[in-house]
Amino acid sequence: MFPPTKTAFALYQEEILNGHILSYKESLDSILKGIIAPQTITEFAGDSGSGKTQTCLQLCISVQLPKCCGGLQGEALYISTNNNFSSQRVRELSKNFVEHYKSLDGKTKSVDFNEDFILKHIHYIKVKDCSELIACIHLLGNYLSGKDVKLVVIDSVSFPIRLLDTKIRKLVLSRLLLELRNLASLYQFAVILTNDLTTRVNEGKSYVTPSFGDSFYHLVNSRVMFSKRNTYFHAQIVKSTFYERKEAIFFI
């Protein structure tokens, strides 16, 4: 049977109706706007301390913003492989976020949008190794049943996979991302994967680049590179299905 078809106009309408997730940090959103959307996979790459995890936490909060205020009013699932998740930090960010958006004509009050509400709608899973991560993704459809998850974060995807034999890394990674893509399409959520940097050597010269090379690069819809420079953070889109290369300076 021939696969179902859609017009470009129908796809465009779907993208508009599905919406996208913002951080509600004006400078950062100048490059993130339209990038993190349902059915897409976004990679956040950078060194430790470059702002990847903090941005992920912020997005787990902002995805819950009520639809009447321009949000997706969804839940978030945070899959941690590196112990970077901090409930105290999430609560602090939640408090700041709620305070900042009390100016929306009191609309948030109608859904009791507060710190406790936000924390209750961020689901957390700790995985110890690659086997647990594979099992987690394989059973994700069952877990999501009955929930309204609009964002799934894996922080980080590179931490457990780097421990595998180099001969099977590419296969495991491609299967994980294929399954994530199918689930994201079925359940209408966005995916963010954080990735660490590694040093490679080419023609006698070393350079720093995101882990897993081109095989990973071609599997994601967007790649955002994070770095810290003195007291501020820097983010740059180096790949996007939708937009040209852009960069921004932001603070956490």
* Predicted confidence (pLDDT) per residue in 214-228, tens digit: 888 999 999 999 999
Binning pLDDT at 50, 70 and 90, where does residue 67 land?
A: confident
The tens digit of pLDDT for each residue in 154-182 reads 999 999 998 888 889 889 999 999 999 99
Tokens of 1: 């049977």
* Residue 214: per-residue pLDDT: 83
Instruction: List b or e across 15-34, with b for residues whose CB sees 16 or more CB atoms inside 10 angstroms.
Output: beeebbbbbbbeebbebbeb
For residue 174, give the amino acid letter: S
What separation in angstroms does the CA of 234 have from each of 46, 55, 73, 178, 231? 10, 12, 28, 30, 10
Binning pLDDT at 50, 70 and 90, where does residue 110 land?
A: low
List the domains of the chain with CATH numbers: 37-250 (3.40.50.300)
Tokens of 233: 């953070």
What's the rounded Cα separation, in Å, for the pair 15 and 26?
A: 22
What's the rounded Cα separation, in Å, for the pair 250 and 233?
A: 5
What does pTM read for this prediction? 0.90
Q: 3-class secondary structure for the chain?
A: CCCCCCCHHHHHHHHHHHCCCCCCCHHHHHHHCCCCCCCCEEEEEECCCCCHHHHHHHHHHHCCCCHHHCCCCCEEEEEECCCCCCHHHHHHHHHHHHHHCCCCCCHHHHHCCCHHHHHHCEEEEECCCHHHHHHHHHCHHHHHCCCCEEEEEEECCHHHHCCCCHHHHHHHHHHHHHHHHHHHHHHCCEEEEEECEEEEEECCEEEEEECCHHHHHCCCCEEEEEEEECCEEEEEEEEECCCCCCEEEECC
What separation in angstroms does the CA of 56 have from each of 76, 128, 139? 10, 20, 22
Q: Which residue has the higher pLDDT, 32 or 107?
A: 32
Q: Which of 54, 117, 88 is nearest to 251 (CA)?
A: 54
